[in-house]
Amino acid sequence: MARLDPHSYTESSQPLAKHVALTLYFDFAARTIHGSALLTLPAAHTGPLLLDTRSLLIHSVLDPHTTGPIPFSFPSDPTPDPVLGQPLCLSLSAQSAALVVFSTSPSSSALQWLSPAQTASKAQPFVYTQCQSIHARSLFPCQDTPAARLVFSARLNLPHPLTAVMAAARAAAPRDPVPGEAGSACPDALWCAAGRSVEEFIMDRPIPPYLFAFAAGDIAARDVGLRTRVHAEGGAALLDAAAREFAGAEEMIRAGEALFGPYEWGRFDLLVLPPSFPYGGMENPMMVFLTPTVIKGDASGAQVVAHELAHSWTGNLITNKTNEHFWLNEGFTTYAERRIVEVVQGEEMAALNMGIGWRGLNDEMDRFKDNMEFTKLKPNLEGIDPDEIYSQVPYEKGFQFLWRIERQVGRPTFDVFLKKYIAKFKFQSIDTETFLEFLKANLPGIENQIDLKQWVEGTGIPPDAMEPLSSIYSKIVSLSNEFKLGNIPKKQEVANWSGQEWELYIENLPKSVEPSQIAALDAHYRLSESRDYEVKVAFLQLAISSGCKEYFGEVERTLKQVGRMKYLRPLYTALVQGNAEEAKLSARRIFAEARDTYHPIAQGVVESILAKHS
Ligand code: BES
Ligand code: ZN
pLDDT average per 10 residues of sequence, the chain (614 residues): 94 98 98 98 98 98 97 90 96 98 97 95 95 98 98 98 98 97 97 98 98 98 97 95 96 98 98 97 98 87 96 98 98 98 95 96 96 98 95 98 98 98 98 98 98 98 96 94 94 94 95 93 96 96 96 98 97 94 96 96 96 89
Tell me how crowded residue 274 is: count the other CB atoms within 10 A of its CB. Answer: 23
Please report the atom of ligand 1 found closest to the CA of residue 279: 21
Contact 311, 330 (CB under 8 A): no
251 forms beta bridges with: none
Query: Rounded to the nearest whole angstrom, what is the distance from the C-alpha of residue 227 to the centroid of ligand 1?
Result: 23
Please give the pLDDT value at position 589: 98
Distances (CA, A) of 195 to 176, 255, 297: 9, 45, 38
What residues are in contact with ligand 1 under a 6 Å CB criterion?
Answer: 132-133, 279-283, 303-304, 307-308, 311, 330, 390, 566
What's the residue count for the chain?
A: 614
Ligand nearest to the CA of 291: 1
Closest CA to 595 of 607, 586, 583, 584: 607
pLDDT score, position 462: 98
CB 102 within 8 A of CB 56: yes
Neighbours of 450 (CB within 10 A): 20
How many other C-beta atoms can be found within 10 angstroms of the C-beta atom of residue 379? 24
What spacing in Å lies between the alpha carbon of 469 and ligand 2's midpoint? 24
Residue 279 CA to ligand 1 center (angstroms) comes to 6
According to DSSP H, which parts of 32-149 are helical? none
DSSP H/E element including 544: helix 533-545
Which run of H or E residues covers position 566?
helix 565-577
Active-site positions read 308, 395
The DSSP letter of residue 393 is: I
Find how far residue 475's CA is from the centre of its chain: 32
Report the pLDDT value the prediction gives residue 120, as an integer from 0 to 100.
Answer: 87
Q: How far is the CA of 280 from the centre of ligand 1 (A)?
A: 6
Ligand 1: which of 128, 303, 307, 329 to mutate, most ligand atoms within 8 Å of CB? 307
Choice from 109, 135, 271, 282 to test ligand 1 binding pocket (greatest atom count within 8 A of CB): 282
Identity (one letter) of the amino acid at 262? Answer: P
Point out the ligand 1 atom lying closest to the alpha carbon of residue 387: 9
SS3 273: coil
Whole-number Å distance, alpha carbon 247 to ligand 2 midpoint, is 21
Ligand with smallest separation from the Cα of 568: 1
Distance CA 381, CA 180 (A): 45
Take atom 8 of ligand 1 and give the residue whose Cα is closest: 132
Q: Which residues pair with 92 in a beta bridge?
A: 47
Amino acid letter at 324? E
* C-alpha dist (Å) from residue 548 to 486, 503, 509, 570: 17, 19, 16, 15
Secondary structure (3-state) at 527: helix
User: With a threshold of 0.95, does the pTM exceed it?
Assistant: yes
CA 132 to ligand 1: nearest atom? 8
Query: What's the number of CA atoms in the CB half-sphere (13 Å) around residue 143?
Result: 31
Q: What share of the chain is helix, strand, coil (3-state, %, to 5)?
A: 40, 20, 35
- Per-residue pLDDT, 149: 98
Contacts of 56 (CB under 8 A, 6+ apart): 102, 103, 104, 105, 108, 137, 138, 140, 141
CA geometry: angle at 237 spanning 232 and 240, to 5°? Answer: 75
SS3 labels along 194-252: CCEEEEEEEEEEEECHHHCCEEEECCEEEEEECCEEEEECCCHHHHHHHHHHCCCHHHH
Instruction: Determine the distance separating the centroid of ligand 2 and the alpha carbon of 353, expressed in angstroms.
Output: 14
Which among 483, 479, 278, 465 is positioned nearest to 357, based on CA atoms?
465
Beta bridge partners of 52: 87, 142
Give the HSE-up count for residue 400: Cα atoms under 13 Å, Cβ half-sphere.
28
> Which atom of ligand 1 is nearest the CA belonging to 337?
19
Task: Report the distance separating Cα 312 and Cα 314, nearest Å.
Answer: 6
* Ligand 1 centroid from CA 190, angstroms: 37
Q: Count CB atoms within 10 A of the CB of residue 247.
A: 15
Q: Which ligand is nearest to the CA of 314?
A: 2
* Per-residue confidence (pLDDT) for residue 33, from 0 to 100: 98
Whole-number Å distance between alpha carbons of 570 and 381: 23
Residue nearest (by alpha carbon) to ligand 1 atom 17: 304
Closest ligand 1 atom to residue 601 Cα is 8
Q: Give the number of the atom of ligand 1 that is nearest the alpha carbon of residue 564.
A: 21
Sheet holding 126-129, edge to edge: 111-114, 126-129, 214-217, 163-166
Q: For ligand 1, pick from 135, 279, 339 the residue to mutate: most ligand atoms within 8 Å of CB.
A: 279
CB-neighbour burial class of residue 546 (10 A; exposed 0-12, middle 13-18, buried 19+)? buried
Looking at the CA of residue 390, tell me the nearest atom of ligand 1. 7
Ligand 1 atom 20 nearest Cα: 280
Alpha carbon of 327 to ligand 2 centroid (Å): 10
d(CA 546, CA 516): 10
Atom 14 of ligand 1, residue of closest alpha carbon: 281
